[in-house]
Chains A and B, each alone.
Chain A
């Protein structure tokens, strides 16, 4: 099985699906000649032509509404937001039209919106945001946050197959940093099934996206330094999310940290924490802990950004506190 970067897995998965299914096409800013700001669609236009890899005007509503219209006519559009941050320009379309269309009119909207998400590069307030918590609050949208190359491909193909609008949050900090085995053949990873990233017994971390690797480093350090056994559950998809896997892990470990890169207040971690409190209260040996970015825009200066995004040291500290409780 070949080893690929997270970015290559997304790119290859998309290219293979476009070869297989004529209905799949790509639209976005600079996705054609330039191959996309992150080069996910590099070489696509040469292979598929300018009408299946469409360089769009700088207009997110036109991109997203264009995708919806084409989907209503039987296409399977994959729209790229150059950065996840810019989805706010087309937010009205997603919330008002795409998310509500099936509910009110009964017509499915099979679109995928690729969102290069997250911080860690001094992108500042407008090139670093994560959209999953805001999106998760909109009934009608599905929200996917893969953390491994294999999941990135399998979840992308599930997203294209899905008859609903799917926000595919691909983390920029994983693009070239993370490598893994990716099966050559076509496969899908189902929505709503968490991935056990690391088995443990003492405390569990519920997380997704780039924070999986932050938690992993913290878990390795705690295993060595504290002989603490940390479990890490990678949710993979936020809407729908795998409640059973979360509750099962909590029942076994009895202590839980919910960790995400999105800001704290109204962040999706609150929903997970509340569900644990409702459904697994008797199994808890400590308060449900949340760790998230503080309630501020994403800052620019490297030291400020480190203070914003949860770091390995922060996770280690929180897990030690939980273990000692």
Chain B
């Protein structure tokens, strides 16, 4: 099974065929802007000293995240990572809760107990990452295993980076998924740098998607700055998995446009590479596409831009009003109580 390199999406008809109408397209644009806006505001909060610890962004990866999340069904689940804020935004995590999480406040999804981008709201089908990447990848495979046992038509998305793909968890998870043909998509955001380590020191194959063949499923490479191509490939793989066709490994290629975290100026990334990928900025690219192919008007664009700005201003204010977490809750939070399983989900 050879790896397939996905073509860009050109016409509006192709987009309609993939299941998106014009409203959806404008919604994608709004989600892209919201994602970047959250992380830009986060930078400011960090510089103001309002974010403890470190701060991580996914600049350059917005389309890869929003595109996949748009393709997910309402009952699908996933374990997104630190460059995939757009997944949370697209599935409806309110920005004020993201800011509250950044600042370690009581209203963040982890209530101050875990930091920064370790975000996930199970009510939205999203489960927070841990730092030991990609430890949540085989967990997503376990979610798919549950779907398979119960014969539910649901799909799990397991995120991974090109750096974390070197770790055994990725192999064990992919191998199990291949053996059991589980409904899971392995989404590798290949942003070319794992902290300061370039791809050629992480793996020796041409494409990470080449590995899919070793696990007995299909591998696809997609341009992660092309939100529509990302959406189309994710949708295709998700629906295939839903119908019992097993896993797909999709390698979405981008460039990490900032350092590993806010303290890192990425001096080791060649300047020309940044310049080249800046010209392929995913948001600017989609904006141009909407102008050319979907006739997005100035009025529509202004409405979206000002709406996002207003949302983020209000969200920041609300997050700053969120209380600090209560140290008295620390030990009691460690173990779950029996009544916590008394939910429709666990019955």
Q: Which residues of A contact B (CB under 8 A)?
A: 25, 27, 51-52, 54, 56-57, 59, 61-62, 65-75, 77, 92-93, 96-97, 100, 102-110, 139-140, 142, 161-164
Point out the residues of chain A lying under 8 angstroms from B338, CB to CB. 161-163
Which of the listed residues A65, A73, A107, A140 has the most CB atoms from chain B within 10 Å of its own CB? Answer: A73
Q: Could you name 6 residue pairs across A and B whose Cβ atoms are closer than 8 Å?
A: A66-B139, A70-B143, A72-B122, A74-B347, A96-B130, A108-B341
Q: In the complex the two chains form, is B114's CB within 8 Å of A104's CB? A: yes
B128 to chain A, nearest CB (A): 5
Q: In the complex the two chains form, is A108's CB within 8 Å of B340's CB? A: yes
**Which chain B residue has the least Cβ–Cβ distance from A49?**
B149
> In the complex, what distance in Å separates the CA atom of A205 from the CA atom of B54?
50
B269 to chain A, nearest CB (A): 29
B206 to chain A, nearest CB (A): 26
A48 to chain B, nearest CB (A): 11
Q: Is B32 an interface residue (CB 8 A)?
A: no
Once A59-B172, A96-B135 are accepted as A-B contacts, the answer to whether A69 and B140 lie under 8 Å apart by CB is yes
Q: In the complex the two chains form, is B146's CB within 8 Å of A65's CB? A: no
Chain B 325-347 interface mask (CB, 8 Å, partner A; 1/0):
00000000111111011000111
Which of the listed residues B120, B132, B135, B179 has the most CB atoms from chain A within 10 Å of its own CB? Answer: B135
Q: Is B45 an interface residue (CB 8 A)?
A: no
Q: Is B136 an interface residue (CB 8 A)?
A: yes
**Which chain A residue has the least Cβ–Cβ distance from B156?**
A69
Q: In the complex the two chains form, is B77's CB within 8 Å of A73's CB? A: yes
> In the complex, what distance in Å separates the CA atom of A69 from the CA atom of B139?
4
- Identify A52's interface contact among B142, B149, B337, CB under 8 A: B149
**Which chain A residue has the least Cβ–Cβ distance from B137?**
A65
Q: In the complex the two chains form, is A72's CB within 8 Å of B175's CB? A: no
Point out the residues of chain B lying under 8 angstroms from A105, CB to CB. 109-110, 114, 120, 122, 127-128
Point out the residues of chain B lying under 8 angstroms from A77, CB to CB. 142
Point out the residues of chain A lying under 8 angstroms from B168, CB to CB. 61
Q: In the complex the two chains form, is B341's CB within 8 Å of A110's CB? A: yes
Q: In the complex the two chains form, is A62's CB within 8 Å of B130's CB? A: no
Chain B 143-182 interface mask (CB, 8 Å, partner A; 1/0):
1111111100000100000000000110011011001000
Q: Which residues of B contact A (CB under 8 A)?
A: 77, 109-111, 113-114, 118, 120, 122, 127-128, 130, 132, 135-150, 156, 168-169, 172-173, 175-176, 179, 333-338, 340-341, 345-347
Chain B: interface secondary structure? helix
B73 to chain A, nearest CB (A): 15
> In the complex, what distance in Å separates the CA atom of A110 from the CA atom of B336?
9
Q: In the complex the two chains form, is B114's CB within 8 Å of A59's CB? A: no
B67 to chain A, nearest CB (A): 24
> In the complex, what distance in Å separates the CA atom of A105 from the CA atom of B173?
22
- Identify A70's interface contact among B137, B149, B336, B340, CB under 8 A: B149
Q: In the complex the two chains form, is A102's CB within 8 Å of B169's CB? A: no
Once A102-B334, A110-B346, A163-B340 are accepted as A-B contacts, the answer to whether A65 and B139 lie under 8 Å apart by CB is yes
- Identify A97's interface contact among B120, B136, B176, B347, CB under 8 A: B136
Which of the listed residues A62, A67, A110 has the most CB atoms from chain B within 10 Å of its own CB? Answer: A62
Q: In the complex the two chains form, is B139's CB within 8 Å of A72's CB? A: yes
> In the complex, what distance in Å separates the CA atom of A75 from the CA atom of B111?
26
Q: In the complex the two chains form, is B132's CB within 8 Å of A104's CB? A: no
What 5 A-B pairs are tightest by C-beta distance, nearest first? A69-B142, A65-B138, A108-B336, A73-B146, A66-B142
Q: In the complex the two chains form, is B336's CB within 8 Å of A73's CB? A: no
Once A69-B143, A97-B135 are accepted as A-B contacts, the answer to whether A163 and B175 lie under 8 Å apart by CB is no
Point out the residues of chain B lying under 8 angstroms from A61, CB to CB. 138, 168-169, 172-173
Q: In the complex the two chains form, is A69's CB within 8 Å of B113's CB? A: no
Once A69-B156, A105-B122 are accepted as A-B contacts, the answer to whether A62 and B172 lie under 8 Å apart by CB is yes
A71 to chain B, nearest CB (A): 8
> In the complex, what distance in Å separates the CA atom of A278 from the CA atom of B79?
44
> In the complex, what distance in Å separates the CA atom of A27 from the CA atom of B346?
19
Point out the residues of chain B lying under 8 angstroms from A107, CB to CB. 122, 127
Point out the residues of chain B lying under 8 angstroms from A140, CB to CB. 334-335
Q: In the complex the two chains form, is B142's CB within 8 Å of A72's CB? A: yes
> In the complex, what distance in Å separates the CA atom of A70 from the CA atom of B148?
10
Which of the listed residues A75, A77, A106, A110 has the most CB atoms from chain B within 10 Å of its own CB? Answer: A106
Q: In the complex the two chains form, is B141's CB within 8 Å of A65's CB? A: yes
Point out the residues of chain A lying under 8 angstroms from B336, CB to CB. 102, 108-110, 163-164
- Identify B333's interface contact among A27, A65, A103, CB under 8 A: A103
Point out the residues of chain B lying under 8 angstroms from A66, CB to CB. 138-139, 141-142, 145, 176
- Identify B127's interface contact among A56, A59, A72, CB under 8 A: A72
Point out the residues of chain B lying under 8 angstroms from A51, CB to CB. 148-149
Which of the listed residues B122, B175, B335 has the most CB atoms from chain A within 10 Å of its own CB? Answer: B335
B166 to chain A, nearest CB (A): 14
A106 to chain B, nearest CB (A): 7
**Which chain A residue has the least Cβ–Cβ distance from B138?**
A65
Point out the residues of chain A lying under 8 angstroms from B333, CB to CB. 102-103, 106
Point out the residues of chain B lying under 8 angstroms from A74, CB to CB. 146, 345-347
Q: In the complex the two chains form, is A100's CB within 8 Å of B130's CB? A: yes
